[in-house]
A and B are shown apart, each in its own frame.
Chain A
Amino acid sequence: MKRIAFAIAFFVALLVAWELTVRSGRWSPVILPSPWKVAEYLWSSVLDGSMAEAMWVTLKRLVVGYALGVALGLPVGLLCASSRYVDDTLGALALGFQTLPSVCWIPLALLWFGQTETAMLFVVVMGTLWSVALATSMGARTMPAVYDKVARTMGSRGIHKWTRVILPASLPFLVSGMKQGWAFAWRSLMAAEIYVTILSGFGLGQLLHYGRELNAMEQVIGVMLVIVAIGLMADKALFAPWERFVKLRWGAATQ
């Protein structure tokens, strides 16, 4: 209770400081709008449906791309862990692509797919895939060898062993890999949306971009707040439960 009160007090103080800075008149309201103006913009964007639409477009790209990236990354990671040859080749490639900032995929995606949804999806997949693959492979390779012996003697082979032993054993690595993949995907999607306009859907990044074009600073800040909120909610909704599970089952020793 005390902690919640403290946190609320902090954010109220932040808003008050912001408002006072605006009222001091040192900066033009075009550069620094008041919190009320931002709230006003957000409310109007909710009323005219533009915010809901942008969120829908962005989240659809993100969720579909992310799911695809994870679905591809898991088998790639398991494959890398299963053979030294695959690890030397595909694994090295994954490591290289993972260090490549995923924004760098945007020019290539535009040339290959044009200004289409596919290009957006491609950027998100590339942001997710390699982080997930590397984490999976790391998790599978650091699994104690005796788990494999237990599985084999119990009669667990093939798909059963991969899904019931190796993947769950990799979970501590997997959760952080999927989190990193999510962060990369989210960042690269925003970059892509700010960078290119795609007529098939007007996402949050584009909303942000046009805020700048129109010199509508309250729109820029408002959209930024929405992006932050989505990031926080994804963390709480998608990853916090898994992190709790890992902590509960593996004990405090891991992570």
Chain B
Amino acid sequence: MLLQVDPAPAKFSVERVSKTFRRGRVETHALDDMSLSVRQGEFVCLVGPSGCGKSTLLDIMAGLCRPDSGHVLCDGHEAGEAGPDRLVMFQEAALFPWLDVTGNVMFGLKLRPDLTRAQRREIAGHYIGLVGLERFARAHVHELSGGMKQRVALARALAPDPDVLLMDEPLSALDAMTREQLYVDFQRIHAESGKTIILVTHNVREAVCLGDRVVLMSPRPGRIREEFAIPLARPRDVNSPELARYATDITVALKDYMGEDVAE
């Protein structure tokens, strides 16, 4: 018998996932037979117009919502209920206002009984440093800017060392300057931490700037239409012409699928 060895087995995968929402008599077919496989350390961006089910897919991947059919696998095992193996950055930073910056980053760590208090402090301090907020370790949440809040949310999601980091449009509520700075930081942190990251966005340039792969989704029902490998060297500059060329190609493809949707 020939033993076939996959050179890079999937760290995380979604297999044949479908989801339909019912509200009264209205049925929304959010996801149809979706499959996606992500390698260890890969940064994958899901792009699509609003209503293409990308946030639903992210909720399913996080275990916050059950698919009607299909599987979510982490290291080859059924991922099941939400848990610290898959942590999420949401569109809002969703920091807890009753805790300061360190308290927020420690939240997940305090749920790890195997760590000592000193270890938790050290880990929290490390990640607060990684996102560049050493000086704000004791700051209150309402004193932070939008970009700083998302940095704290990133540190909070990284601290418990999840297998996969899921990001649900975490930069869409920020101003352009802050966003560009965070593109630089996300790339650096991805390189340093080697995390497997899945980012959902509707911003094509953002996806090209951050992703090793950009996966295009189309709406009603949500389907994967096309995948683009982005072989550009890192760190990437979101304003570079090469990056713009990739973004243009993807945007054209995206518009095709949307046109198809309108025609239907």
Contacts and interface: CB of A to CB of B under 8 A. Distances in A.
A250 interface: yes
Interface residues on B, range: 20 to 34
Contacts of B86: 153
A175 B239 CA distance: 50
B96 A168 contact: yes
B141 A153 contact: no
A146 B90 contact: yes
Contact of B98 (A152, A160, A168): A168
Residue with the greatest number of chain A CB neighbours at <10 A, chosen from B83, B94, B141: B94
Contacts of B81: 152
A104 to B, nearest CB: 36
Interface in B87-102: 87-88, 90, 92, 94, 96-100
Contacts of A150: 88, 90, 94, 96, 107
Interface residues on A, range: 20 to 34
B64 interface: yes
A167 to B, nearest CB: 9
A88 B29 CA distance: 32
Contacts of A149: 62, 64, 82, 88, 90, 94
A164 B104 CA distance: 12
Contacts of B142: 249-251, 253
Contacts of B84: 153-155
A4 B68 CA distance: 68
A123 interface: no
Interface in B51-78: 62-64
A249 B92 CA distance: 18
Contact of B83 (A153, A168, A171): A153
Contacts of A168: 96, 98
A251 B111 contact: no
A144 B94 contact: yes
B90 A249 contact: no
B232 to A, nearest CB: 31
Interface in A110-144: 144
Nearest to B65: A149
Nearest to B91: A146
A249 B141 contact: yes
A169 interface: yes
A165 interface: yes
Contacts of A144: 92, 94
Interface string B156-167: 000010000000
A180 interface: no
Nearest to A252: B142
A146 B64 contact: no
Interface string A152-185: 1111100010001100110100000000000000
Contacts of A152: 63-64, 81-82
Contact of B96 (A153, A169, A253): A169
Interface string A221-255: 00000000000000000000000000011110100
Given A153-B64, A153-B88, A154-B107, A165 B82 contact: no
Contacts of B87: 153-154
A155 B97 contact: no
Contacts of A154: 84, 87, 107-108, 111, 160
Residue with the greatest number of chain A CB neighbours at <10 A, chosen from B62, B82, B84: B82
B195 to A, nearest CB: 15
A219 B131 CA distance: 66
B190 interface: no
A155 B86 CA distance: 10
B140 interface: yes
B60 to A, nearest CB: 13
B92 to A, nearest CB: 6
A153 B96 CA distance: 14
A248 B107 contact: no
A150 B64 CA distance: 10
Interface in B3-36: none
A147 interface: yes
A155 B107 CA distance: 10
30 contacts: A144-B92, A144-B94, A146-B92, A146-B94, A147-B94, A149-B64, A149-B82, A149-B90, A149-B94, A152-B63, A153-B62, A153-B82, A153-B87, A153-B88, A154-B84, A154-B108, A154-B111, A155-B111, A156-B111, A165-B96, A168-B96, A171-B98, A249-B98, A249-B99, A249-B142, A250-B142, A251-B140, A251-B142, A251-B143, A253-B142
Interface of B: 62-64, 81-84, 86-88, 90, 92, 94, 96-100, 107-108, 111, 140-143, 160
- 8 closest pairs, A vs B, by CB? A251-B142, A146-B94, A168-B98, A154-B108, A152-B82, A155-B84, A153-B82, A155-B111
